[in-house]
């Protein structure tokens, strides 16, 4: 791959050791001939990624989610260094980042592209989600009735605590906790998982890449909360239709050439079972 001549660093200083790791990696980048800049601001300034070859995000998955939309729109790849807990998105540990960073700056890396979800409500502009869009009752912890259509065809009306629309990347997040399926991150699909459905036969549905999904409330006096990646909320007034689809943008993630998705899944989810003869 092409060498990285200009690097941005987004550092979550509230994470233990993040500032020290950032200093070490910036020193390695400068020694390799790259220009660097750094911010601790959240959200990052709108033009922070301009003319950057990559952005190194040091924190947890939430830190990376906070910059994913801007990075996808700018076409800037993200290097995630984990200082959080699970770290499905921030796949480099501090030790791995220090060991491999100089080689990555020189071009020894691969790019993985991840789909994003586009979500819009009423007249509001669309937002982008790397993980998921979650729809619940806005004011009360109560049952909601949500009618879902796929390309104008009624799927069903769910009686539930809410709905999770997940990208493949987000399938290891809220979707998994709610009993949804694991999806390989290279797939281009949308998973719909109801939260605590009152019809026990309601299960997750996987929709194709080009589907246009719409959601509307089937209950009176219900205002909906539309959470995007658990970080931003879209305004949804009574009677609004929520539209969800796969976005035209893709997020680029930087991986080592030896990156193994299922090795990370086994480690993070603590899967058991013997591994013998390299299998």
Active site residues: 61
- Identify the CA nearest to 252 among candidates 85, 106, 97, 52: 52
CB 157 within 8 A of CB 146: yes
Contacts for 177 with CB less than 8 Å, ≥ 6 apart: none
CB atoms within 10 A of CB 95: 9
């Amino acid at each position: 791959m092409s060498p990285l001549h200009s690097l941005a660093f987004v550092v979550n200083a509230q994470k233990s050791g993040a500032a020290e790791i950032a200093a070490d990696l910036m020193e390695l980048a400068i020694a390799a001939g790259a220009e660097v800049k750094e911010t601790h601001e959240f959200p990052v300034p709108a033009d922070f990624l301009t003319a950057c070859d990559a952005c190194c995000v040091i924190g947890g998955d939430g830190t990376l989610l906070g910059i994913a939309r801007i990075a996808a729109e700018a076409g800037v790849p993200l290097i995630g260094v984990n200082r959080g807990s699970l770290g499905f998105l921030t796949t480099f540990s501090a030790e791995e980042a220090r060991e491999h960073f100089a080689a990555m700056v020189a071009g020894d890396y691969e790019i993985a592209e991840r789909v994003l979800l586009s979500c819009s409500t009423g007249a509001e502009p669309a937002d982008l989600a790397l993980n998921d869009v979650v729809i619940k009752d806005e004011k009360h912890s109560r049952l909601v009735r949500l009618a879902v259509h796929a390309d104008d065809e009624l799927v069903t009306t769910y009686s539930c605590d809410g709905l999770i629309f997940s990208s493949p990347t987000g399938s290891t997040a809220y979707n998994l906790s709610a009993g949804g399926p694991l999806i390989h991150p290279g797939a281009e699909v949308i998973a719909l998982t109801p939260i605590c459905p009152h019809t026990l036969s309601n299960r997750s549905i996987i929709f194709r890449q080009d589907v246009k999904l719409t959601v509307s409330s089937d209950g009176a006096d219900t205002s909906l909360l539309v959470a995007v990646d658990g970080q931003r909320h879209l305004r949804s007034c009574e009677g609004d239709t929520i539209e969800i689809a796969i976005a035209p943008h893709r997020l680029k993630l930087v991986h080592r050439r030896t990156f193994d998705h299922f090795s990370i899944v086994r480690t993070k989810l603590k899967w058991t079972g013997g591994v013998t003869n390299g299998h």
